[in-house]
Amino acid sequence: MTLISALPASDGYKATGKGARPSAFAVSELATASFGAVGQELARFVTALSLAAKAPEVTVDHRLASLWYGFSFKPDGWEMPDLWDAVAGDYQASDGWIRLHTNLPRHKSAALKVLGVKADRNAVAQALKDWSIADLETAIVAQGGVAAAMRSRTEWLDHPQGRVISRDPLIGWHSPRQIKLRDRPEATASRPLAGLRVLDLTRVLAGPVSTRTLAGFGAEVLRIDPPGWDEPGVIPDISLGKHCAYLDLKSPTGLSKLQDLLSQADVFVHGYRPGALDALGLTKAKRDELAPNRVEVTLNAYGWQGPWSTRRGFDSLVQMSAGIADAGRSWAKAEKPTPLPVQALDHATGYLMAAAVLSALAEAASGNSIMLAQLSLARTAELLARLAKSETDEDITSAVPADYAPEIEASGWGNGHRLKPALVVGSAKMSWPLPASKLGTSNSDWPSLTA
């Protein structure tokens, strides 16, 4: 069995271009290698399906891969909403730094309730000066919020969760089983995922990156969100190529509809923490019953074992927990936490999730058994922390006009331009016929089955 378990060797794909994101860590090297992982696994799948006479060559544009780790969409004449809530950010407590993540209303309310203040940044800063970072982190999490104290790499590796993460595999494969792939006569070497139905139950940011990637090679992606959900700062970037529908999974009707969708899906990608799907009645046994031939890949923030396995988290918080922001501070000779220049943990995990989907599909197409895949932002942080950084005197900071495709993308918010694709696999070049769309603008049905 050759399910993907690590980044590919550098000779497994061709990389063009040079430069690096300014960082203490090998962010650009990770970007190129994660795109290479997608390309390598897609090439294996193309070969397994006999879509090409020989294994296609994989080419990654190093500069574009680095840029895709940031925003891929540039609005023409309008501005995307701010990524962060006004209260979100880093604060100095009595004994160190802590980051509050308040983009979601319930997370914001939890932090403000613990601190006993209104939604005013100055009031928040004043209120937490008397708190220790460990006590405040614990109190906010207990209230249902999300926060992360800044730890050093040494402190994280000594932490109970850090010790667990350091021993975890990059991609955890479990529950082997045989599946039979559905025939997809529309699949070609140029669009190898055409007709593949991908059910997407993920949020910011890693999961949506994985399904956007699959859509780029032809997959039919249906994203499901609860009614009224929105992520205004990122949706124009990551809804590219997808059908986006609302569905209330807490209602019997909505849950029944989701089960119907799952039974017709080829791939199921989700970001539920341990036990969350079980609470909806979608246990593994139920999923096996509904969709015995599915490929399933999932992620969470802090890993699948250990005391923090059910803890909510985001890229910026994991960077604080895992020592990345502290190492960045030392590298930059700064007083404040210095995070990565982009949300590299999210993006890398997303591309690795896409590679895991393709790896399982390739194994199944070859008649081998497959397994379910689990990834986490915290384990990707360990990968980045150990990755060698190349020497370069050319910084990659922001895109220039030549980095964007000339075609206008008519997104649901207005026209704009998308970065050129960073990955080519033989004759397969990433492209998205569907522009980025607002959430809830599609029906909760598979378009190919209702056309």
Which residue is associated with the tokens 């378009």?
Answer: 447
Which residue is associated with the tokens 């915290």?
Answer: 378
Please list, in sequence order, all residues whose beta carbon lies within 8 angstroms of the beta carbon of residue 170, skipping any fewer than 6 positions away: 5, 6, 7, 352, 375, 379, 380, 383
Residue 273's pLDDT is: 86
Residue 1's pLDDT is: 57
Sign of the CA dihedral 73, 261, 198, 190?
Answer: negative
Residue 228's pLDDT is: 93
Return averaged pLDDT per consecutive 10 residues of the chain, 451 residues in all: 91 95 97 98 98 96 98 95 92 98 95 97 96 98 97 98 97 97 98 98 96 98 96 94 97 97 98 90 96 98 96 97 98 98 98 98 97 98 96 92 98 97 97 97 95 73
Please list, in sequence order, all residues whose beta carbon lies within 8 angstroms of the beta carbon of residue 301, skipping any fewer than 6 positions away: 311, 312, 313, 314, 317, 318, 376, 377, 378
